[in-house]
Amino acid sequence: MTDPIRMDGVFRFDEAGTLPRPGPIGRMVRIAFGAACLYLVWQVAPVSDPCTRGDCSTRP
């Protein structure tokens, strides 16, 4: 890959498809990061019944 910014401040972009594909470690990191993001969204988003999480105070 080349330097994206030259000395005169003009951007120079590489051709499409010049980035190398991730190896096995990179793929595992991406899978782990994706799983962690899904877990955090699952914990934050109210997608389940509140009583399944132990908070039944909102139920009439």
- Distance from C-alpha of 56 to C-alpha of 6, rounded to nearest angstrom: 60
User: What SS3 class is residue 8?
Assistant: coil
Q: What angle do CA 14, 15, 19 make, to 5 degrees?
A: 75
- Distance from C-alpha of 39 to C-alpha of 27, rounded to nearest angstrom: 18
**Residue 24 parent element (H or E):** helix 24-44
pLDDT value of position 31? 97
pLDDT value of position 25? 96
pTM: 0.49
pLDDT under 50: residue ranges of the chain: 59
